[in-house]
Structure 1
């Protein structure tokens, strides 16, 4: 095969689109433009099947002619003679060799060369005490395959054990008694990483090792799958012990205390580590930043089949990391459930053949790290006895003053919580005086009954920032990839593996803290500004005439925050309106339509200056109404007749107005004749398209026109708000009371009519607003009568996000490492038309603002508060993280030198590992501090998102 490469060429004859991609791909493939020199590459690969270009020059080691050996793992795989290949591989037992047999290479091993390998001595030294029984056919698993070797252990007096000799050369033995199988530490490290990050199962990884030297099936290696599984499990456990510093401790691994191997969240509060002195005496205004926020949930995909037994498969570190100790856990469950024995052996369609139906777990809500001793098996369902134990276990040793607990059934779980807490084992009891706040995750709250929405909402809870409580669910989505393999493990292997998976998840999130906290801060700064400005605009629009009411609302919110379970004063619940029905709405709309017909009679065209302006504005509004009707795609004969009748009447009014226009606008025709290009001739068949010229159209500063445009804008705005409120009511009524197809069709017809009225009012307002802009020019009046955008036309409790804003918000949340569409936070702002100065229509008979205005104001206040709290919490979490790094570096410093009565080589290893950890912690502290400094300064510089005037005591 010769070189057939070339550059990719654009072919104008090939169309664009998905089909074009396939056509172009085929052409590129045929023309070899995907791999420009693939012919040369293929030639090079096939050439390596032979002896290569240099074999004729002799052995690469001694220049002997006709060398017949080469090594796949040595550099360049140069040809060697038998003597040189033996010499070079006396200390390379795991290289892959090949021998040339005249016309092709056959795989060989170091064992085929007759080499034996001395373990326990320096390179080139032979042990003078050769064992009586040699160790032949020793199996070693390495990255390049499975090898069989002949080795000799050191038999000198006082020599280390065979296990120690293997570990000294980097081979991990499969057993501690007379080992005959080992795996290199390099292999175990590689598999461990691939298993956790790339999700490669141990079974598939082992089979891939076997295929490396047995692709044809002619040279099957010794079966060592069981031994490999055993070594992997031990390696996982020992790595956790090593990273927790247990090798440095005088008590050794046996002295490990419960939960000590867990990777804790360094951004959460830890008294004595990353909290300032006197934090417990902090005033209420700042004490909320020292809360611990945790989430609890169950995962029924992480099942455990009834395989093996704990006697045959015990846990290597019972209760040392994330999984609770099984003995104490079961003892508690049995003591609190008289039918536990029957429960354990439950034989139904969901629990048949299962030891565990799933797991429950507790994690920190803010950073989503698994809590130490917060995970355990569930025997059947999500029972309080299981979930209580896991929750209290995750809080062992807590000395904080407040815990915010998130659970999807917190409204029920919180009942009798303290009564159940009093029955827990002594070591799980919570400290006296601990304040517990119970919340429901944001995504899980809407299906709850309405009385739960206020008291258990994160959105309305002071001091939680933008926490959503759904972090534990995101943990499940990552953990579930291992559900199938974990389910078939024995009880001990399963718990050790789950510990390792949780530890890896926590470690990756710890490593990413520098980026994750930065992303959240970058998102929070503009959001805090947006919601603060929106709330200030809302407040300013209402404060001019209703300041006393606003202060009453603020006082009510503060009272409710102290007693959120008091449903009578909940400021976030929209009032239920049961008095009005759909029939009432239809009657009111009909009456309004009749009044409009009476108002638009012929008497409106009286020849007076004010009458002329009123008639002109009225005709413009009628043109808009007819234009909307004309846009209807399909209409009945009656509807077509009615449209023609309206056009005839409208044309008469337009003609009458034009007759008197010369009196009040004498220069109009001359001005029109001077325009370039000229105005098109009027289409009398469509009078709604005839331009109506009024003084505001010619930029005339006429006071009467100004006042009329002002009145037109105010009236259209009031009508728009009224129709939006009607639309909201109609939607709520339909969802609650209408189920049949017939009723649905009737309600849909009514809603279509309401939408037409909304569009008409919006169009009239825009026309009046443009007229005012032409008459007045830009000015202060625009703060009350703002430009009406499409996204502004929404009910008081409708969301503000259009498609473009949703996409922008989605990208912002992804940048911040968050999930979901964020529809409850990104642009959840009240439209300006509800809190402009022209809100007189929204008061009741006593002059009080409508209750819906109060609820929306309360929610706007809560949004501004939560985003401001998010900034404060993020700054505090950044500070805590750096402080934890400095503390951890100091902790590692204290571990050095504890074990002085050990071999010098071990002392050096302990020192080196400890120094490595210290350097990493200090590097993290320095790198993260530098990375966060700009955004922290930016956050401090933003004064606009500080609390409003009603929250002065919180500043």
Structure 2
């Protein structure tokens, strides 16, 4: 029998690895099971189930995401996990049963699970509700961003959907270097310069000198933060030891500073300012703290440029740290609201959140201080292209901004932290509407196939008439049972036809057609409708 194969979606936890040797394994199959390699590569679409996607790297998730595949709808690919999630709830009772009875109970639960999958009225009603919700969400989101970004992102999506060789709009193409990577690059450049005969005035390289100053600034910030806490006797002793060690390190830093920042001591003496006696408040006088005219005279060996590059890496590190911490906090709060009960658990949770919030505030403050130093070195025009000012309203988790679409009305413009995240939301917005539309269409097709299957199944039971057995009573009983099963299938067919083929189906069709028309005519211009 010939088969026309258009496409087959294969959902597998490690589909990204499974597909690599697909053609090789295909050639190892018996000849009657083989298919041309070109057909297999074109027809087989590999996807990673949605629950398992977070365990993969981004470069692996994007090409195999079920959310980005046309025709998939809202399929999550976790059919087996759904079964396990339901059966786990009966484990406490079945583990006390005998083997035979346990198998019967599990069979009943599996059968009930499969039976509920046949009754799709509730599911399709939820899908229609989801379509309307995401249509409203997309409208709200479009009203919160400017037309330039909206047009740019939409053009990227359309170009990629037409030609997959175009830049993928769902991949973050911008690569930001961390402070460690910037430092390593600077040291490599210094090694090359030394090998070419360039002489350094000190055994410590310029990049190591600036990096030492930045490390000392971090130590000062940590000591300042600890001074605001209530410390015991041991805490005060440890803090004093850290202050003494910091004082020695700064003294060593001053010696090297005279080499790379010539005349810095005389310049400091000429300044009329009240300097603090506390070591954690002592100014290190890095190039960013000097006026531009004095910086050009005092700084040598390109230390000002080195500080600017390291500050860029620090800004990237601070933002990445904020992203991680805000995600972690939002997940912990969700866990706290769902699972934690009692005074003891809530007290521990409150203490943890307080410590975590202090870490978030420290990362935000470091970004602001680093950005201010970078502003002095490169100027506002170049800085705003990469690192914008971080306001307090920007420091929120993404779920706080877009949960249910309500956050968009509170935040008419999106902050720095989640600009890229919101860009992904905008790119996914029209796709989300289309996914829900596809899900409705897929469910309607499943309804049609369910009714077709019931009619076929009833016919199969009715055809059971020619039975051979010595005992005619058994034959009569089997035929009666077959007719009973056929009647059950006919009753189900009549019931489903009534539920799906009358008013309910008309409402579903109207909702799907209305949304399809909106999506086809204008994927993103819902602002005009909002008026």
TM-score between the two structures when normalised by the length of structure 1: 0.30
Is 1:449 the counterpart of 2:57 in the alignment? Answer: yes
Match of 2:21 among 416, 433, 454: 416
Q: Per-residue displacement from partner, 1:281-337 (whole Å, max 9, x unpaired)?
A: xxxxxxxxxxxxxxxxxxxxxxxxxxxxxxxxxxxxxxxxxxxxxxxxxxxxxxxxx
Unaligned residue ranges in structure 2 (runs of 5+): 183-226, 230-315, 328-355, 370-392, 525-531
* SS state at 2:63 partner: coil
Please report how far the alpha carbon of residue 557 of structure 1 lies from its aligned counterpart in structure 2 after TM superposition: 3.6
CA 577–852 in structure 1, closer or farther in 2 if over 3 Å, else same: farther
Please name the residue that 1:574 is paired with: 172
* SS state at 1:880 partner: helix
Larger radius of gyration: 1
Distance 1:572 1:473 in 2: 27
Distance 1:450 1:512 in 2: 35
Match of 1:523 among 126, 129, 134: 126
Is 1:882 the counterpart of 2:451 in the alignment? Answer: yes
* SS state at 1:884 partner: helix
Please name the residue that 2:427 is paired with: 858
- Note if contact 1:411-1:440 (Cα within 8 Å) is conserved in structure 2: yes
Distance 2:520 2:320 in 1: 32
CA 466–733 in structure 1, closer or farther in 2 if over 3 Å, else same: closer
* SS state at 1:415 partner: coil
Distance 1:910 1:477 in 2: 37
CA 479–832 in structure 1, closer or farther in 2 if over 3 Å, else same: closer
Please report how far the alpha carbon of residue 749 of structure 1 lies from its aligned counterpart in structure 2 after TM superposition: 3.9
Please name the residue that 2:515 is paired with: 945
* SS state at 2:450 partner: helix
CA 546–893 in structure 1, closer or farther in 2 if over 3 Å, else same: same
Distance 2:57 2:138 in 1: 28
Please name the residue that 1:931 is paired with: 499
Distance 2:431 2:157 in 1: 11
Matches within 5 A, 1:420-819: 420-425=25-30, 429=34, 433=39, 435-477=43-85, 504=108, 507-513=111-117, 515=119, 517-539=120-142, 544-545=147-148, 548-559=151-162, 563=164, 569-578=167-176, 729-732=320-323, 748-751=360-363, 753=365, 798-800=398-400
CA 801–747 in structure 1, closer or farther in 2 if over 3 Å, else same: closer
Match of 1:872 among 424, 441, 445: 441
Please report how far the alpha carbon of residue 936 of structure 1 lies from its aligned counterpart in structure 2 after TM superposition: 2.9
* SS state at 2:54 partner: coil
* SS state at 2:55 partner: coil
Distance 2:177 2:409 in 1: 28
Name the count of aligned residue pairs: 331
Please report how far the alpha carbon of residue 457 of structure 1 lies from its aligned counterpart in structure 2 after TM superposition: 1.3
CA 919–447 in structure 1, closer or farther in 2 if over 3 Å, else same: same
Match of 1:831 among 400, 408, 421: 408
Q: Per-residue displacement from partner, 1:507-531 (whole Å, max 9, x unpaired)?
A: 323433454x222222211211111
Distance 2:118 2:503 in 1: 13
Is 1:918 the counterpart of 2:486 in the alignment? Answer: yes
Please report how far the alpha carbon of residue 891 of structure 1 lies from its aligned counterpart in structure 2 after TM superposition: 2.0
**1 or 2, which has the higher helix percentage?**
2
Matches within 5 A, 1:188-227: none
Matches within 5 A, 1:229-268: none
Highest relative contact order (Cα 8 Å, sep 6+), 1 or 2?
2
CA 755–927 in structure 1, closer or farther in 2 if over 3 Å, else same: farther
* SS state at 2:505 partner: helix
- Note if contact 1:890-1:918 (Cα within 8 Å) is conserved in structure 2: yes
Distance 1:866 1:916 in 2: 41
Distance 2:32 2:395 in 1: 54
TM-score between the two structures when normalised by the length of structure 2: 0.50
Distance 1:530 1:406 in 2: 27
**1 or 2, which has the higher strand percentage?**
1
Distance 2:111 2:426 in 1: 42
CA 436–872 in structure 1, closer or farther in 2 if over 3 Å, else same: same
* SS state at 1:512 partner: helix
Please report how far the alpha carbon of residue 470 of structure 1 lies from its aligned counterpart in structure 2 after TM superposition: 1.7
Aligned-residue Cα RMSD (Å) equals 5.0
Please report how far the alpha carbon of residue 833 of structure 1 lies from its aligned counterpart in structure 2 after TM superposition: 7.2
Distance 2:160 2:523 in 1: 11
Please name the residue that 1:50 is paired with: none
Q: Per-residue displacement from partner, 1:83-111 (whole Å, max 9, x unpaired)?
A: xxxxxxxxxxxxxxxxxxxxxxxxxxxxx
Distance 1:734 1:833 in 2: 22
- Note if contact 1:528-1:864 (Cα within 8 Å) is conserved in structure 2: yes
Distance 1:745 1:795 in 2: 11
- Note if contact 1:551-1:950 (Cα within 8 Å) is conserved in structure 2: no
Distance 1:749 1:547 in 2: 32
Distance 2:139 2:443 in 1: 23
Match of 2:477 among 895, 909, 912: 909
Q: Per-residue displacement from partner, 1:749-801 (whole Å, max 9, x unpaired)?
A: 434659999xxxxxxxxxxxxxxxxxxxxxxxxxxxxxxxxxxx667982248
CA 798–449 in structure 1, closer or farther in 2 if over 3 Å, else same: same
CA 576–408 in structure 1, closer or farther in 2 if over 3 Å, else same: same
Please report how far the alpha carbon of residue 832 of structure 1 lies from its aligned counterpart in structure 2 after TM superposition: 5.2
Please report how far the alpha carbon of residue 505 of structure 1 lies from its aligned counterpart in structure 2 after TM superposition: 5.1
Unaligned residue ranges in structure 1 (runs of 5+): 1-395, 585-633, 637-724, 737-743, 758-792, 806-826, 843-849
Please report how far the alpha carbon of residue 400 of structure 1 lies from its aligned counterpart in structure 2 after TM superposition: 5.1
Matches within 5 A, 1:20-419: 401-419=6-24
Please report how far the alpha carbon of residue 397 of structure 1 lies from its aligned counterpart in structure 2 after TM superposition: 10
CA 800–934 in structure 1, closer or farther in 2 if over 3 Å, else same: farther
CA 635–950 in structure 1, closer or farther in 2 if over 3 Å, else same: same
Q: Per-residue displacement from partner, 1:388-418 (whole Å, max 9, x unpaired)?
A: xxxxxxxx99865322111111111111113
